[in-house]
Amino acid sequence: MPDAVSPRGFWGKLGYWLALLFTGLLALLWAVPVIWAFVASTRPPTEPLGRGDVWFGSSLTLVNYATAMSLAPFKLYYINTILIVTMILGVQIITITLAGFAFAHYKFMGKQLLLFFILLQLMIPTTALLAPNFSTIRALGLFDTRLAIAIPYFGSAFGTFLMRQAFLEVPRDLVDAGVIDGCNWWQLLRHIYLPPSKSMLVAFGLSSVVWHWNEFLWPLVVTNSDKSRPLTAGLVRFTQLGEIGAQWSLLTAATLLVVAPLFIVFLIFQRQFIQSFVHSGLK
């Protein structure tokens, strides 16, 4: 509801301030898990948590991060995650732009049918198909590779649909002018369709990166060794290492290692992130 409805009278103002107080408390409650994780990760490892003593230790330390890094190959996990996410995004940008352009610009036989076929991916999410897709990965000889984690996402119904929508909003006159000037399809796409659609591409890109950075189940299924394992699957393995037990400061440090890059970028570009998520969802 718009802010234009400003509170009036004593009760209106009281309600307004109570609502603000409630908002603050609720927000604090929602943030407690992450705040606690951060605080606990700075506790000296010699001071285990106990009843009523779960926040700061007697001093601040970064040693837990170093220990976590030494107990599991987080550096390798980072490289894997970054490579997987980049590979997916790189291919997706090409496939969704080309397909989106074809659907928005051209008239051709079977267009509706083809679009429907691709949109099947929205109705049957790849996550649900992990068993048969595992067989495919095995048959292709890709098991336990980074490519195996990335390849099912190279075509994106969602991205194709978003780009088609963005391209459809490009004014027809602009396109016609380009056509009359003798642009070929690549020039049309590059100079007329893409410039006004960049924000949509960025929006899709951000949500794709977040989604695949965070994905766990599919990587778990198709990896078998650290050479291809991403951060999420690495973290779960780490939490199950025998020697870790209930060393919470170590566990939280490892958890934050997984989260940190994405979280820092998010904190800096908060507005753009949220905008992106809205765009890539709503349009």
Partner 1 sequence: MSASASAVRKRKRRNPILPYLLILPTFFFVAMFTAWPTLLAFYQSFFRQRLNIAKFREPTFIGLGNYATLFNDPRFLLVLKNTLIYVLVTAPISIVLGFLFALLINRAIKGIGLARLAFFQPTILPMVSAATIWMFFFTPDYGLWNTFLQRFGYSGPQNWTGNPDLALIAIMIVTIWKNAGYYMIFYLAGLQSLPTDVYEAATLDGASWWQMLWQITFPLLRRTTLFVSTIAFIGAFQMVDHIFVLTKGGPSRASTVLLYYLWQMRFENQDVGKASAITIILIIFLLIFTVTNFALSERKEEETHA
Q: Which amino acid is at 147?
A: L
Nearest-approach distance from CB 157 to partner 1, in angstroms: 7
50 φ/ψ angles, rounded to the nearest 5 degrees: -145, 175
Evaluate whether 162 touches 204 at the Cβ level (below 8 Å): yes
Structure tokens at 115: 């679009």
Nearer residue to partner 1 within complex by CB, 61 or 99: 99
What distance lies between CA 84 and its chain's CA centroid? 12
Backbone angles phi, psi at 53, to 5 degrees: -135, 75
Please state the closest distance from residue 241 (CB atom) to partner 1, in A: 13
> Cα–Cα distance between 80 and 231 in angstroms, integer?
8
61 versus 102: smaller Cβ distance to partner 1: 102
User: What does the DSSP 8-state code read for residue 190?
Assistant: I
**CB of residue 128 to partner 1, shortest distance in Å:** 5
Residue 66 or 274: which CB sits closer to partner 1? 274
231, burial (CB in 10 Å: exposed 0-12, middle 13-18, buried 19+) = buried
Tokens of 13: 């103002």
Taking the complex as a whole, how short is the minimal distance between the CB of residue 261 and partner 1, in angstroms? 11
- Output the CA torsion sign for 149, 153, 154, 159: negative
d(CA 73, CA 29): 33
Q: Which is nearer to partner 1, 208 or 252 (CB)?
A: 252
Nearest approach, Cβ of 172 to partner 1 (angstroms)? 8
50 bridge partner residues: 53
Give the residue with the Cβ less far from partner 1, 62 or 94: 94
Least distance from partner 1 to the Cβ atom of residue 161, Å:
11
